[in-house]
Amino acid sequence: MKIGLYYRKHAFASYSIYRILLEKFQERLNCKCSPIFQTDFTMCKITFVMRLALQHLPPRLSQRFIIIAESDPPHFNEEFYNKAESYITTSSKIADEYPKSVLFPLFAEPKYFKPNDKQKTCDCVFVGKGSHPFILDRIKVVNQLREQGLIVHTYGRLWPKHEHSFPDVFGQNLIDAYCSGHLSLDLCDEDSAISSRIYQAALCGITTITEPRPTMMQQFWSEEELFYAESFNFVSETVKLLKDKSYLKVVGQNVREKCLQEYTTEDFLDRLLRLI
């Protein structure tokens, strides 16, 4: 079996889902997997990576080829899709519109992501870039939460300078970032694909507040495992939730148990191997 992995350099950092998936493939299938393509451009655009990756796919494929894709609809590449027998996505919008698409839940790795006993240093955490070409309100929402007196730690590029805004984190520092807060933020919109940050935070025992999307709501029970709020009341709902941190702790334990039962790397591979 040949496995093609196309990624941006920073996306293959320690404990990223790309690296973990490759390691698990090698372990489960007892084979050596090497990326067909990699880029040295740390901040290159996803469409640029896809265009270069296409050069490595022959026009007529003699072997089965399954693509595990960057799934936000604006990143979708139809030429890339047409090369594949199956196109695995976490976007219900793409899955609904393109018949070869297969909707998969994401995962996190319990070997790495787990609670720690360090003291909480903030109310809520967001892991991801600030300025985003398709999700416009991230900086505005975080500013509004801070104006309400909440301590919000952000980790990633393109955030305005602030004492609680930090660079990208990887490996154990990523786990420590999730565990430092009582609540994880998933700043997205109604068309966003499901993010790995929800599963990573969950295995750390931290629940998330996110935009209500059918795919997500089928996976996690509202108010028992995850919290859902539309953009117009996201700030007010977040402030309300943080008034009862003991409740958030219980919900965090619930969502961790759900992920351990259904959304680990092994569960993802089981689904993938059944598809293959």
Report the Cα 113 to chain-centroid distance in Å.
13
Look up residue 260 and give its DSSP letter. Answer: H
Residue 52 confidence (pLDDT) above 60: no
With b for 16 or more beta-carbon neighbours within 10 A and e for fewer, the 84-114 pattern comes to bebbbbbbbbbbeebeebebbbbbbbeebbe
Residue 113 token pair: 């992501």
Residue 167 confidence (pLDDT) above 70: yes
**What pLDDT is attached to residue 133?**
77
The confidence band for 39, taking pLDDT boundaries of 50, 70 and 90, is very low
Collapse the DSSP code of 228 into the 3-class scheme (helix H, G, I; strand E, B; otherwise coil) and give the result.
Answer: strand
Distance CA 150, CA 238 (A): 10
Look up residue 226 and give its DSSP letter. Answer: B
Q: Domains in the chain and their CATH numbers?
A: 9-109+264-275 (no CATH), 124-262 (3.40.50.2000)
Give the CA distances from residue 214 to residues 44, 129, 224, in Å, rounded to whole numbers and listed in that order: 31, 24, 16
The confidence band for 274, taking pLDDT boundaries of 50, 70 and 90, is confident
Query: Bridge partners of 102?
Result: 88
Lowest pLDDT segment from 15-19, 163-167, 260-264: 15-19
**What pLDDT is attached to residue 49?**
44
Per-residue pLDDT tens over the stretch 98-142: 999 989 899 999 999 999 999 999 999 999 999 987 787 999 999
More confident residue, 275 or 240: 240
Tokens 């993802």 sit at which residue? 268
Distance CA 43, CA 262 (A): 33
Lowest pLDDT segment from 55-69, 75-89, 249-263: 55-69
Distance CA 94, CA 81 (A): 11
Q: pTM here?
A: 0.87
Rg of the chain taking only CA atoms, in angstroms: 19
Distance CA 271, CA 165 (A): 37
The confidence band for 45, taking pLDDT boundaries of 50, 70 and 90, is very low
Residue 59 confidence (pLDDT) above 80: no
Look up residue 194 and give its DSSP letter. Answer: P
Residue 126's nearest CA partner among 70, 88, 165 is 165
Percent of the chain with pLDDT over 70: 80
Question: 231: phi > 0 → left, psi -120 to 50 → alpha, else beta; which?
Answer: alpha
Per-residue pLDDT tens over the stretch 212-249: 999 899 999 999 999 999 999 999 999 999 999 999 99
**What pLDDT is attached to residue 236?**
97
Percent of the chain with pLDDT over 90: 54
Quickly count helices (H) and strands (E) in the chain. Answer: 11, 9
